[in-house]
Amino acid sequence: MLKDKLNYPEILKQIEQDIQNDFGKGKLADYIPALANINPNQFAIHITTTLGEEYSVGNVDTLFSIQSISKVYTFTLALKQLNDDIWQRVGKEPSGNRFNSLVQLEYENGIPRNPFINAGAIVISDIIFDGLGKTKNKVLQFVRGLSPNQTISFDEEVADSEREFGHRNRAMANLMKSFGNLKNDTNDVLDVYFHQCSIQMTVKDLSRSLIYLANGGKSLSNQEIINYRQAKRINALMLTCGLYDAVGDFAYRVGLPAKSGVGGGIVAIIPNKLVISVWSPELNQAGNSYIGTKALELFTTYASNSIF
């Protein structure tokens, strides 16, 4: 029995061993060429604690496409801007459906179920568009400042692909527009959305930039990004809505607030302790990193660290 004996470096090393036979069990995202052609045999974990300690293993310096994880950054910006008024534009309940379904959107009059499904994130882009003006770059600046790492950038090839194959997102944007829940021009809003999805960074950038969610709203340099209550609430929202249609399964197996992206990244929060980011590009059926999910499950088991 490993539990209670290992420190973080030992745990990460152990996890790296445990997952070696799992390459090839998932499938690369294939809806855009830019993601379909990635080398699947990659894996990285990075931990940043609220005390500033850092631990990592694997391809720590490789850039990957954060995709839906970007929804955490834009939601943070929108929450700062509107606080609880944000809930007039988007819900906070799990979707109970495939992550990009139009059905629920139609039944619920253009109000997306939550900010972490595509439709919800598009509304969030529309909201911050109002508050920040030329948003695309404002989002990037926000992410760069949080990390802090001024080299974080869009992958324009991915952004182009998202636009070229983004018919379903365009369908949702137009449907919400028809219900009056999009204020700006759909093409302008989608340009922000497609770009935020294309942000590329490392697991290190990811853990560092989101440490405020584990740290009562404050960055490592003690700057208040959001307040204590807002941080707690984003964590709650990540737990109930952050993993597409595998929210329950992930809570059951891992037991941490988290947000995943189809680029193979997952970031998870242990409140008051740490942020742990994993990346491995092959996905399970729910669209979450196959190895990433397993690695986090092993982590909460070895570290006895789930919130439950």
Provide the binding-site residues for a copy of itself, judged by CB under 8 A: 91-97, 101-104, 106-107, 113-114, 167-168, 170-175, 177-178, 186, 232-233, 235-237, 239-241, 245-249, 251-252, 255, 257, 271, 306-308
**Any catalytic annotation for residue 252?**
no
Q: What is the rounded CA–CA span in Å between residue 149 and residue 167?
A: 33
Catalytic, out of 55, 56, 65, 68: 68
Q: Closest separation between CB of residue 140 and a copy of itself, Å?
A: 27
Q: Is the peptide bond before 148 cis (omega within 30 degrees of 0)?
A: yes
Catalytic, out of 71, 177, 259, 294: 71
**Any catalytic annotation for residue 68?**
yes
Q: What is the rounded CA–CA span in Å between residue 20 and residue 238?
A: 28
Catalytic, out of 139, 143, 262, 275: 262
Considering the complex, state which of residue 23 and residue 99 has its C-beta at the smaller distance from a copy of itself: 99
**Any catalytic annotation for residue 267?**
no
**Any catalytic annotation for residue 193?**
yes
Q: Closest separation between CB of residue 50 and a copy of itself, Å?
A: 14
Considering the complex, state which of residue 74 and residue 235 has its C-beta at the smaller distance from a copy of itself: 235
Catalytic, out of 8, 193, 212, 290: 193
Considering the complex, state which of residue 238 and residue 295 has its C-beta at the smaller distance from a copy of itself: 238
Give the torsion through C-alpha atoms of 129, 133, 134, 139, to 10 deg: -60
Q: Closest separation between CB of residue 246 and a copy of itself, Å?
A: 7
Provide the H-helix boundaries in 198-246: 203-209, 228-241
Considering the complex, state which of residue 9 and residue 96 has its C-beta at the smaller distance from a copy of itself: 96
**Any catalytic annotation for residue 262?**
yes
Task: Give Cα separations from 245 to 5, 146, 215, 292 (angstroms).
Answer: 34, 29, 27, 16
Considering the complex, state which of residue 191 and residue 205 has its C-beta at the smaller distance from a copy of itself: 191
Q: What is the rounded CA–CA span in Å between residue 73 and residue 266?
A: 14
Q: What residue type is assigned to position 60 of the chain?
A: V
List of E strands, 106-152: none
Antiparallel, parallel or unpaired: β 265-270 and 274-279: antiparallel
Residue 80: closest CA among 142, 149, 152: 142
Question: For residues 141 and 135, is the Cβ–Cβ distance under 8 A?
Answer: no
Q: Closest separation between CB of residue 107 and a copy of itself, Å?
A: 8
Q: Which helix (H) or strand (E) holds 123?
A: helix 118-132
Q: Closest separation between CB of residue 114 and a copy of itself, Å?
A: 6
Could you give the 3-state DSSP secondary structure of residue 25? coil
**Residues annotated catalytic, as ranges:** 68, 71, 193, 244, 262
